[in-house]
Every structure is written in C-alpha cells, then in structure tokens.
Amino acid sequence: MSGNERVIKEFRENNGKVGGVFEGVPLVLLTTAGRRTGRPHTTPVVRLRDGVRHLVFASNGGGPKHPEWYHNLLASPQVTMETGTDEGHVKPFATRAVVLEGEERDRLYERQCLVNPAFRDYRERTDRVIPVVALHPLDLAADSERNRMIGRQLVVHHDELRAELAEVRAAVAAARAGAAAPRPTPGLTRQLHRRCLTFCYGLQLHHTREDGSFTAFEQHFPHLAPVITRLREEHKAVEEALARLEQVLQASDEDLAGVGAELDRVLDGLEEHFAYEEAHLLPALGTPRPS
Ligand SMILES: [Fe+2]
Ligand SMILES: [Fe+2]
C-alpha cells in the first residue's frame, strides 16, 4: 500500500481525520478523472472553507510541477470531494471546480498562509504561481432547468455505458468463438481484458460521481432515501463484481466459460441498475423519462 493509499484508508475510517504529518490539518479527498485513462484518481489535499465553497491549493509541496489532480480537473472540472461530517462518517459530494484568478486568487492564498504557514514555504520553493481552486458543491434545491439538464446527462451517460456494454458482450462472444475454433486465435482474451478495463474505468468514474451527487439527492429529496441506499449498495456490489472479474480475466488465459458466466451476471445486473436509477431519479429532477 502506498503512502497515499494509507492516508486515504485512514481518512475514510476516521471521519476524515489523519494522524502523523497531517495531524490537525483539515484534509479532503479529491477524486478526478485521469485525463489519459478516464480512471478515477483519488488524492488527499488541504482544504480551506470559504462560505459554501471549498478551496484547495495545487501546491505539490512547493514542487516544480502542478500535481496530477490539477491537470485532471482542468480537463474535466467535475470533482468528487470526500469530507468528514457531523454524522461521524465520511461523505462524498459532487462539486464543480473553478480555478481562481488575479486578486481573488492572491487574497485567498494569503489567507491560507495565515491559517497554515507551510504554504508560505511552498510559495518560496517554486517559481510556479500555485493555483487556487474553488469547489462548488452540487445544489439541487430549485426545480430548475439545470436539474432537468442533470437528468438528461444521466441518460446520455447511461446510453454510452449501455453501448460499451454491448461491445463487451460482443468481445466475449468473439473470444469464446475464437477459443472454440479448431485453431484458437491467440490474444482474444487479452483484447477482451482491454475492452473490459476501458468499460470498467468509465463505469467506476460514473459511479464515483453519482455517489457524490446522491448526497445532494438525500438532502433535497428526503423521500428518495431508500432508493439512494439501494443505489449506493448496488454501486458497491458492482465494484466488487468488477474486481472479481478482473481477477478471472487475468487468471484464465483461454478458459472463457467462467468469464462469460460471471460477466453475464454483472452486465445483466447493471442494465437493471441503470433502469432503476432512471425510474426514480429522473422524476425528482423533472426530466421526462426516455421512451
Ligand atoms: Fe448508478
Ligand atoms: Fe448511473
């Protein structure tokens, strides 16, 4: 386990509190979309509250380069932020990242230096202007055009995932046929593995972002609480199933019978999950269900 992974684990197990060098420092976890792989990328960062916004600083400890998470959020500003709560456990929040500029950036960096003098050292160690990023939590309060747009985006993402899912099924069929042929085609399992990985990263990212937006759903649509609980549990079950599937794909190079059965179960469950999610979340957002 890397140092970052240990901090993340401790953070999640202790309502956002971490000992050692981070003792007493207010931290949050940011999950961004890896800009090359699309894979979710989680990292702990120092946070400063500013009204409803949360400020984070791409200091990289005063290093010469911007941290990966900063490049990632420039490419895709939808960021999931995890933070400790009064309820005693860490919660994820969907946020939109905005990079601050000029006087506002300078003033808020200065405020952070007053709170935590290490940020003065970081500034002195680097020629970079250390970026300051404001994270705006998703607010579903008003029955608005924005809510309807969020609903439409949900359907667009599900349709993309459904299309990829069909391609994964086709790759399984091709790999099975290749393996059963008199002269098996080499490399089909590897191709299937690659296809599955691309699909898994996309799905993991979709679920990570949804887990964050569910916190806003719970806040604004209390009647959906049992639905959200079920959806969160399904996300966990899917993640576990994908991890098992990955193991199977790595272990059985040419034995595709086991892969097929496991994969069919995961994919069938996913299609039901998408449908259930749309059936319950779209009416709350005021978005008409696709016919
Ligand atoms: Fe979901
Ligand atoms: Fe979804």
Give the model confidence (pLDDT) of 9-65 as tens digits.
999 999 999 988 888 899 999 999 999 889 999 999 999 999 999 999 999 999 999
CA 210 to ligand 2 center in whole angstroms: 7
Can you read off the two tokens belonging to residue 149? Answer: 């747009």
CA 203 to ligand 1 center in whole angstroms: 9
pLDDT at 179 over 70: no
Instruction: Give the end-to-end CA distance of the chain in Å, rounded to a whole number.
Output: 47
Looking at residue 17, what is its pLDDT? 94
CA torsion sign for 124, 17, 49, 235 is positive
pLDDT in tens, 138-169: 999 877 899 999 999 999 999 999 999 898 88
CA 237 to ligand 2 center in whole angstroms: 14
Answer whether 123's CB lies under 8 Å from 106's CB. no
Pick the CATH number of 145-285 from 1.10.3470, 3.30.70, 1.20.58, 1.20.120: 1.20.120
CA 228 to ligand 1 center in whole angstroms: 9
Q: How far is CA 193 from CA 88, 165, 189, 253, in A?
A: 39, 13, 6, 10
Tell me if the domain spanning 3-137 has CATH number 2.30.110.10: yes
DSSP 161-180: HHHHHHHHHHHHHHHHHHHH
pLDDT at 230 over 70: yes
pLDDT band at 184, cuts 50/70/90?
Answer: low
Enumerate residues with CB within 5 Å of ligand 2 (an ion).
277
Q: How far is CA 25 from CA 10, 63, 112, 133, 249, in A?
A: 14, 20, 12, 18, 42
Phi, psi of 236 (to 5 degrees): -65, -45
CA 168 to ligand 1 center in whole angstroms: 19
CA–CA separation, 172 vs 179, rounded Å?
10
pLDDT in tens, 74-127: 999 999 999 999 999 999 999 999 999 999 999 999 999 999 999 999 999 999
Tell me, yes or no, if the two domains 3-137 and 145-285 fold the same way.
no
Nearest CA among 168, 170, 200, 171 for reference residue 188 = 171
Every domain of the chain and the residues it spans: 3-137, 145-285
pLDDT in tens, 121-138: 999 999 999 999 999 999
Looking at residue 254, what is its pLDDT? 55
Nearest CA among 44, 12, 51, 50 for reference residue 30 = 44
CA 277 to ligand 1 center in whole angstroms: 6
pLDDT band at 244, cuts 50/70/90?
Answer: confident
